[in-house]
A and B are shown apart, each in its own frame.
Chain A
């Protein structure tokens, strides 16, 4: 199987007021094309830093990242990045926000309007195109942010706790929505979260990071069907067994001082 993302011996050190702060230490991971992987770890362990490096926003101190076989060196157009907050531009309507990336890439006005409308429709937000962000709910805003990423048709989707600011109900709804879109568009998704239940219920594989400086502590295959319902799956035995296994790993990292 072809690798969508390869991370090789990745190390990142930050320098703050003359001190070295190692954040990532010798991370190796690979993600197959079309795979849905979630990354979990104690908060502040450097998960966002890892995504920033994969996306090309940050340079690693040492090590390499490859996306679809190409070495990442600066922001990469094959990668779509979704952030913790929706980051919609408040002076743009929903559809104009979705068109932002297309504008930057020089797509013509009629073309990008058509593309944006199609994605908004597939997310079930038709009718809200001309609403301003402050007129939309948190869940809708995050879906518009997802539409802004998807409309650029990236091969790899990086998601940094994208549902973290939402209430539990909206969260599971968007989780199901994301799974539907993943199956439909056949994307590779790397989903960072600190919510273990979310990590297992969405992904095919869970990667556990250690506390800072983060290394890959463990990997677990999630043997649950691809077409699953996030609300129901959390009650199944195999889910609960996996949950308690990974939870042990995590508590070692959080509690093990």
Chain B
């Protein structure tokens, strides 16, 4: 039983690598080997690899650090604010009833329309990106936390009160841990968004970061540079996703079936 699961895993991983290799070989063949499409349009894996090596030797680390810093900062603040507001609005139904339409309206705005305002207010440095990311992440966590609080049966609150719990106890020992799976779902959804927010923000106005790198390459009609930036973004996305899965398993060991 265990053995066949392990074998299955190996088979899946092998096939994944085959898919990747297949795409790379096909791409290389189309552009470089047979010259079906000129590399000016679609670049090629070998050109991208060469460019990545050049970048790594150059100042990729600085751009990457700036993008990651914006992502982490905006994401963390957005998550904390979203959870805090979600707990308050989840517990105080009256407040939620009053604010609900405004939250809805704000959340349905495409954030990109706010970006020019943030650049105007906070400049082209990291602050404008961090604020943009916060506006994206906050609502996801807000809605998920509210849903988490709402899913707690009133009987649990009665139990806590009958045990002599204060509001602080109820928050720490019941509400917050109860919401952990909901918060996690929100985190998983929004961490990718945070990265997108950073890149989009940099795309619009900046002087450093991955988005800047891609925008700059694109303005030079340098497809290899654009693809090299995209590859780095994809690697980041995969790394973040794997990291989240690992963390989730650690935190939610008590759940049946994990």
Interface set of A (CB-CB < 8 Å, partner B): 52, 55, 57, 75, 77, 79-81, 83-85, 87, 89-92, 100-101, 103-105, 132, 134, 152
Residues of B within 8 A of A91 (CB): 177, 180, 254
Residue of A nearest to B174 (CB): A89
B 239-258 contacts with A by CB, 8 A: 254-256
Interface of B is mostly: helix
Contact status of A87 and B156, CB under 8 A, knowing A75-B162, A105-B164: yes
Residues of A within 8 A of B107 (CB): none
Residues of B within 8 A of A152 (CB): 163
Q: How far is the CA of A123 from the CA of B178 in the complex (A)?
A: 28
Task: Out of A57, A85, A103, A105, name the residue touching B161 (CB < 8 Å).
Answer: A57
Does B169 have its Cβ within 8 Å of any Cβ on chain A? yes
Residues of A within 8 A of B254 (CB): 90-92, 132, 134
Q: How far is the CA of A90 from the CA of B258 in the complex (A)?
A: 14
Residue of B nearest to A85 (CB): B155
Are B155's CB and A79's CB within 8 A?
no
Residues of B within 8 A of A84 (CB): 155
Does B158 have its Cβ within 8 Å of any Cβ on chain A? yes
Task: Out of A57, A103, A132, name the residue touching B162 (CB < 8 Å).
Answer: A57
Residues of B within 8 A of A132 (CB): 254
Residues of A within 8 A of B162 (CB): 55, 57, 75, 79-81
Are A100's CB and B173's CB within 8 A?
yes
Nearest Cβ distance between residue A79 and chain B, in whole angstroms? 7
Does B159 have its Cβ within 8 Å of any Cβ on chain A? yes
Nearest Cβ distance between residue B214 and chain A, in whole angstroms? 42
Residue of A nearest to B257 (CB): A134
Q: Give the one of B163, B166, B173 with max A CB within 10 A.
A: B163
